Amino acid sequence: MNTHLDKAAPKQVVAYLSNAYPKVSHSFIRREIAALSQRGVDIVRVSIRRTNEPLPDDADAAELERTIVLLDGHQDLFRLLRAMARAAFTRTKGFVVATRATIAMARMGGPGFLRNLAYLAEACRLAEILQRQSVAHVHAHFGTNPAAVARLARLLTGVPYSITVHGPDEFDSPLTLSLAEKIADSAFTVGVSDFGRSQLMRWAKIEDWARITVVRCGIDDAFLNAPMVPIPARRSLVCVARLSGQKGLPLLIEAAHRLALQERQFDLRLVGDGELRQILEHEILVRGLSQQVAITGWLSNTEVRREIEAARAMVLPSFAEGLPVVIMESLALGRPVIATAIAGIPELVDQSCGWVVPAGSVDALAEAMAEALDAPLEDLARKGEEGRRRVAHRHNIDNNAAQLLAHMLQDGDPG
């Protein structure tokens, strides 16, 4: 372990800022916080809004108790307004600069002036928390509103911030999100893959490229050191995903229907929930797949792991992604992955540990699913072993948290 980090880490107080923390789909943030805490960093957890979804995992429920929520009802709204009024009088110079930045972000055509004004109010409240907790650095997950609030808080207080940008939302609207400005004002900005870094470089000024680095998301010992469960003979596949438009799940139902028409014996479990649930349930019903396809809703980490271990392969037919953590989890458990050739996915998945198919191609998706169902168990095991090796090498949360901490301990000047 790095001696410099060991000596410096206990002195470091870092605020972690996200839009809604904790969430089931954001377990990677919890793992990152835990790994940094193990290195002596004092983490102040801050969420802009309260999570509005169930938290089946006890670890997430515990995190919720530790998290400061900036906006959680009308009482907090008045608290934000009071914080903004105090900032105007006690941090006048910074408040003027932050207000100008707020107006500039609003003019970019994104959320609009009122939403950006809310970001300023949230930044004023965050500034008070940073001062009270003696925070030396703010790390925001996602380049959307958390990054905006962190940026405005820096202009108010001088406390440096960094961002982990996952995509795809930031890459879909880089101009309206003022992505270049957020990168330019950051101490550093993280992409979760080489592809992600390239997209950040695409929109940043060349002189800011040195601020952009890659720190991959990681998984912990619960997956990395989990006992290997043999791949089952049962012809089962699993998909773990938010039931949203970018995940391509209607194509997954269509591919499953094609397998059923071929009279293949199989079952498919969709683990997750979201806005497309009713549509997907309707598709399952009208295509006569109720015996083969089931939606479980959100499950705890332990339950998700059991679902993956009960399958021959994990399938994720996404249209847009960063680099999904569930792919890392599945490979770490020795399960091959069927995924689309988008974003950072090909940096981890290839034919040695799964199947990579063109996004939007139901033909290729159905073919890969059929191959996974028909493959000899020893072939699937070989793919799983290679995937497990890759994840252990590239996505160990302890190693990646150390890399992130090293950037935080620098002075923020890449030049």
pLDDT tens digits, 25-49 = 899 999 999 999 999 999 999 999 9
For the segment 274-299, the average pLDDT, to the nearest whole number, is 97
pLDDT at 210: 97
Q: Which residue has the higher pLDDT, 77 or 169?
A: 169
| pLDDT range class, residue 311, cuts 50, 70, 90 | very high
Give the tens place of pLDDT for each residue, 246-273.
Answer: 999 999 999 999 999 999 999 999 999 9
In order of 84, 183, 218, 316, 317, the CA distances from 227 in angstroms are: 52, 41, 18, 24, 28
Give the tens place of pLDDT for each residue, 120-162.
Answer: 999 999 999 999 999 999 999 999 999 999 999 999 999 999 9
pLDDT at 111: 81
CATH 3.40.50.2000 fits 3-218+396-409, yes or no: yes
Q: Which residue has the higher pLDDT, 54 or 293?
A: 293
Residue 280 scores a pLDDT above 50: yes
Q: Which residue has the tokens 């009270």?
A: 132
- The architecture of the domain spanning 221-394 is 3-Layer(aba) Sandwich (3.40)
pLDDT at 163: 98
Cα angle 237-379-258, degrees, rounded to a multiple of 5: 35
**Rounded to the nearest 5°, which phi and psi values hold at 70?**
-75, -40
Q: Which residue has the higher pLDDT, 72 or 310?
A: 310
pLDDT at 301: 87
Question: Mean pLDDT of all residues in the chain?
Answer: 94
Residue 76 scores a pLDDT above 90: no
Strand order across the 13-20 sheet: 68-71, 42-49, 13-20, 137-141, 161-165, 188-191, 212-214
Residue 4 scores a pLDDT above 70: no
- CB count within 10 Å of CB 406 equals 14
pLDDT at 305: 94
Q: What per-residue string of b and e applies to 127-154 under the rule 16 or more CB within 10 Å gives b?
A: bbbbeeeebbbbbbbbbbbbbbbbbbbb
**Residue 15 pairs with which residues in a beta bridge?**
44, 138
Q: Which of 204-213, 219-228, 364-373 has the lowest mean pLDDT?
A: 219-228
pTM of the complete model: 0.93
Whether the CB-CB separation of 145 and 178 falls below 8 Å is answered with no
Output the DSSP codes for 204-220. S-GGGGGGEEE----B-
pLDDT at 12: 86
Q: Which residues contact 261 (CB under 8 A, 6 or more apart)?
A: none
| pLDDT range class, residue 412, cuts 50, 70, 90 | very low
Annotated domain spans of the chain: 3-218+396-409, 221-394
pLDDT at 53: 84
pLDDT at 11: 58
Residue 1 scores a pLDDT above 70: no
Residue 413 scores a pLDDT above 50: no
pLDDT at 9: 40
| pLDDT range class, residue 366, cuts 50, 70, 90 | very high
In order of 20, 154, 283, the CA distances from 124 in angstroms are: 18, 10, 47
